[in-house]
Structure formats: C-alpha cells, structure tokens
Chains A and B, each alone.
Chain A
Amino acid sequence: DTAVSQTPKYLVTQMGNDKSIKCEQNLGHDTMYWYKQDSKKFLKIMFSYNNKELIINETVPNRFSPKSPDKAHLNLHINSLELGDSAVYFCASSQRDRVYFGEGSWLTVV
C-alpha cells in the first residue's frame, strides 16, 4: 500500500497546454509538499501545505498553482506549459523529521 502516491507517473504534453498532477498520502501527515527536480537533477522545494494551508511558496511562477482539497491530497496544476517546465515533480509528506516521497511524475513538454 503506497504511502505517497502521485499520478500520472509519465506525462508528455505540448507547449501551451494546461496539466495537473495529483498526489495522495495515506500516512495521516498534516504537511505535504511539491519538489521539482530539473534536468541537472537539482532538487528544490516548490510549495508546502500544512493542513490545507499554504505555508511555503518558493518563488514559483504564477502558472503553477497547488490545491489541497484536504490534508491527504495536494494537487499541482500548471498553466501554459513551457519547455523549461520539463522536470520530475515529487510530492512528499512529512511528520516532524520524517519526509516521505512519492515516486515522481516525469513531465516532458515538447
């Protein structure tokens, strides 16, 4: 039973499209995140939500909009996709110092 699951795992889409990535955790954690791993494999936090409230927004373009319908779900919607958005997006959840990652969603913009 996957602790942090995200869908889709792979996504290929054209520039200018809008797409969403969904994430769910069954760990009962209050805090969830989106991390981005770019083409150079550098990992950086994008957003953090605690109990459905946004607590970290790391200077991400407005085209990226996270939504948390409840504390077990955190979705990422991306408008007007650009080539530079191609990356692996990781969802994660945490309780204190224990951070659990999903398997990643590979987004390719063509």
Chain B
Amino acid sequence: AQTVTQSQPEMSVQEAETVTLSCTYDTSESDYYLFWYKQPPSRQMILVIRQEAYKQQNATENRFSVNFQKAAKSFSLKISDSQLGDAAMYFCAYLPFGNTGKLIFGQGTTLQVKP
C-alpha cells in the first residue's frame, strides 16, 4: 500500500525568506502524481502545485517549486519570498495513475510565517 510521510509537524519562516517542507512516499508504481495542498484555517483545500512522476523536470508555480527525487521517493516543497498569507497547513499527497482520485495524504505540516 502506498504511504506518504511528512516528518515535520511544524515549521516556521521569517517573512521574505525561503522555507522547504519535506515529504517522502512509498509506492511500487512507476506512474503516479504528487501534489502539495494548502489548507488555511478556513479548511479549504487549495492546490499549490502538482508533479507528474514521468516528468523529470521539477514543477514550479510562481514562488512555489518542488524538488522531486523519484529514486529517493522524495517530494519537497520550496516556498520562496514567504508571505504572511502562506501561513497554513500544507499536505503532501500521492495519486495513483488512472482515474481513481484516491488521494493519499501525509500528516501535514503547519507553516508559521513570522513578520
């Protein structure tokens, strides 16, 4: 069974600085997708970034980028120029290839941004 592990329950960063959130996963599949979701206190699930496992190039979305290491089964999220609005819980998620939509989530990392 696939699993996703986020080993950092809490992280903090100074406004305007860079922070990296860690995620590792376990799977025997070769094709899959990986995501980072942001969940503010409102509990809305906001997609931050997605990565297709068959693509070697790391995904980027403005200030957000990932470091995808397929062999190591690692998928970290880097937030550059951190803003107060980035404070939230961040979930790493794995999705098997195919239209199952069965997202498997990590435990989450709470990010605090200090002014």
Contacts and interface: CB of A to CB of B under 8 A. Distances in A.
Contacts of A41: 39, 89, 107-108
B99 A56 contact: no
Nearest to B98: A96
Contacts of B16: none
Contacts of A88: 43
B109 to A, nearest CB: 11
Interface in B39-74: 39, 42-45, 47, 50, 52
Contacts, number: 57
Interface residues of B, number: 22
Interface in B56-115: 89, 91, 95, 99-105, 107-108
Nearest to B43: A104
Contacts of B104: 45
Interface string B28-40: 0000010100010
25 contacts: A33-B101, A37-B43, A40-B107, A41-B108, A42-B105, A42-B107, A43-B103, A43-B105, A45-B102, A45-B103, A48-B101, A48-B102, A55-B100, A56-B102, A88-B43, A94-B99, A95-B99, A97-B33, A97-B95, A99-B35, A99-B103, A101-B45, A103-B42, A103-B44, A106-B43
Interface of B: 33, 35, 39, 42-45, 47, 50, 52, 89, 91, 95, 99-105, 107-108
Given A48-B102, A101-B45, 5 more contacts: A43-B103, A45-B104, A56-B100, A101-B44, A106-B43
Interface of A: 30-31, 33, 35, 37, 40-45, 48, 50, 55-56, 88, 90, 92-97, 99, 101, 103-104, 106
